[in-house]
């Protein structure tokens, strides 16, 4: 089985956050396939001389089918998306289409992981993900709102830090306020909330707010929203979810000197 | 404020998954501080000529305090851990200590994100994280078991895919069976479970099982366990959590040809 399709996570978009394994996967590919907004994240030198197939956001199935056709024709093909290849991204659709088309024996599937948006956002906010967290997409394009709301409430009841993907789009404006209200059934209004837009990309914005003060209208499709757990607080101007060290070790009671 | 401490996520450990930003942060540092098992993941050329401070697993607070002392003395200092810097890692403890010692005005904190273990494991398993997921550490060193169990049950009740960190150690053997039992209150015995040991490191192992068949004794501290949601299934020998495309688009009913 020498024919291969590779799903590559591009990370946040900054070339400095693209690991060598992803770069190599693009360099060895004869065709690179992806949503045009993601293709724009790829450095021009990695696209040069390659067949590039890009379409709009809703052409996902056609695009992945075309990528499989290319790979079957013997062209090493890379399917790209931002963030990690496996978090709400293309690895699943490629695998699903391989199954539907019966290609398990004909194509090798490789998934190259990348830095997911949740980690890029967390790094800019401080350290909000030091304890258990739940990741929930607010897009109800493929998921009934009832399922989303049930998960929001379960996550809040379990006192998880909650990371919201796809919090808002031009078309979907009501989900985020409804989600914040659902989280508010178990989380206090003063719970720190971090909003990161375009992490590590031009136009990056980092906003610190609370569950009560977050301006939902300032959130867009290229945003990640992180809502703290009951222990999350601001420290040195950053969002911090402590792991419990202070209780266990009594931080700040004694200094130490490097040996 | 020219003094800086940088927290760097090394990713799974394979140099091919270390992005240039992390490499640069290590190259510009005069001192590199971390648990010895993580320091071993750093290529020797990135350690050469630098002060390296490493201690055992339980010396976390002393190690981070020493890193802050070094940074305060004017030595650019990098604190490293595997995976992402912000997921159960060092960013939180460094921030917590900066707060306890009142260093907000004296030190700049930078966090360089990395590929977290959850994404490395998912890439090797297939595409288990295509839908909402919860990440839970089974370590009860700093968290009461009651809190962990409450989160397991909330995540299972919300039909999240569940990623288990720190599933087992030499000392802690009972947590994983108890966790699987808690998840089993809402998840079927046939739910696919993926076990990944040492992802992208020597000795890598990938095991596909179910909630009923997973051999808890085969899990160790360097393992990540991924438990599916109610839609997760095996496809082409891989673990797949579909996003719902099949229902919406009718996959496999029509092929397409690249244009």
Measured from the Cβ of residue B58, the count of other Cβ atoms closer than 10 Å reads 10
Residue B259: which pLDDT band, with cuts at 50, 70 and 90?
very low
CA dist., res. A180 & res. A189, Å (int): 10
pLDDT at residue B256 above 50? no
Contacts of A242 in chain B (CB under 8 A): 92, 96
- Mean pLDDT for back-to-back runs of 10 residues, chain A (259 residues): 92 97 97 94 93 84 96 98 96 97 97 98 98 96 92 98 94 92 97 98 97 96 96 97 68 39
In whole numbers, what is the pLDDT of chain B averaged over residues? Answer: 92
- Report the residue from A15, A115, A256 with minimal CB separation from B115: A115
Contact B15, B120 (CB under 8 A): no
CA dist., res. B62 & res. B51, Å (int): 16
User: Exposed, middle or buried, B252 (CB in 10 Å: 0-12/13-18/19+)?
Assistant: middle
Contacts of B258 in chain A (CB under 8 A): 53, 66, 69-70
Angle at alpha carbon of residue A10, lines to B134 and B94, rounded to 5° = 55
pLDDT at residue B102 above 70? yes
Residue B57: which pLDDT band, with cuts at 50, 70 and 90?
low
- A66–B257 C-beta distance less than 8 A: yes
- B159–A100 C-beta distance less than 8 A: no
- Segment holding B217, helix H or strand E: none
Contacts of B237 in chain A (CB under 8 A): 104
Task: Supply the pLDDT for residue B250.
Answer: 56
What percentage of chain B has pLDDT greater than the value 90?
86
> How close, in Å, is residue A184 to chain B by CA atoms?
16
- A20–B16 C-beta distance less than 8 A: yes
- A66–B258 C-beta distance less than 8 A: yes
- The residues pairing with B32 across neighbouring beta strands, listed in sequence order, are B52, B78
- B123–A111 C-beta distance less than 8 A: yes
Task: Supply the pLDDT for residue A172.
Answer: 83
Q: What is the pLDDT of residues B13-38, one digit of tens each?
A: 999 999 999 999 999 999 999 999 99
Higher pLDDT, A134 or B259: A134
Task: Supply the pLDDT for residue A113.
Answer: 98
Task: Supply the pLDDT for residue B252.
Answer: 47
Task: Supply the pLDDT for residue A246.
Answer: 55
> How close, in Å, is residue A28 to chain B by CA atoms?
15
Residue with the two structure tokens 């273990």: B117
pLDDT at residue B251 above 80? no
pLDDT at residue B198 above 70? yes
CA dist., res. B224 & res. B166, Å (int): 7
- Average pLDDT estimate for B194-198: 98
User: Exposed, middle or buried, A99 (CB in 10 Å: 0-12/13-18/19+)?
Assistant: buried
**Torsion sign across C-alpha atoms B169, B172, B173, B178:** negative
Task: Supply the pLDDT for residue B86.
Answer: 98
pLDDT at residue B96 above 60? yes
CA dist., res. A197 & res. A193, Å (int): 13
């Amino acid at each position: 089985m020498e024919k291969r399709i590779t799903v590559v996570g591009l990370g946040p978009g900054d070339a400095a956050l693209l690991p060598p394994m992803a770069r190599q996967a693009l360099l060895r590919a004869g065709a690179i396939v992806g949503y045009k907004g993601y293709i724009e994240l790829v450095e021009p030198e990695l696209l040069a001389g390659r067949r590039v197939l890009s379409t709009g956001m809703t052409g996902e199935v056609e695009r992945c089918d075309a990528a499989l056709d290319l790979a079957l024709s013997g062209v090493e093909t890379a399917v790209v998306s931002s963030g990690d290849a496996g978090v709400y991204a293309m690895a699943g659709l490629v695998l699903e289409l391989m199954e539907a088309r019966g290609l398990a024996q004909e194509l090798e599937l490789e998934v190259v992981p990348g830095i997911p948006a949740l980690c890029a956002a967390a790094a800019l906010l401080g350290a909000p993900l030091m304890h258990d967290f739940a990741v929930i997409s607010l897009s109800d394009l493929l998921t009934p709102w009832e399922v989303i709301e049930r998960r929001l409430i379960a996550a809040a009841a379990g006192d998880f830090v909650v990371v919201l993907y796809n919090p808002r789009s031009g078309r979907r404006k009501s989900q985020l306020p409804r989600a914040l209200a659902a989280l508010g059934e178990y989380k206090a209004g003063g719970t720190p909330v971090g909003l990161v837009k375009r992490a590590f990309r031009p136009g990056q914005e980092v906003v610190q707010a609370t569950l009560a003060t977050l301006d939902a209208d300032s959130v867009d499709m290229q945003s990640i929203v992180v809502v703290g757990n009951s222990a999350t607080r601001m420290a040195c101007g950053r969002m911090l979810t402590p792991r419990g060290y202070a209780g266990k070790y009594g931080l700040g009671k004694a200094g130490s000197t490097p040996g």
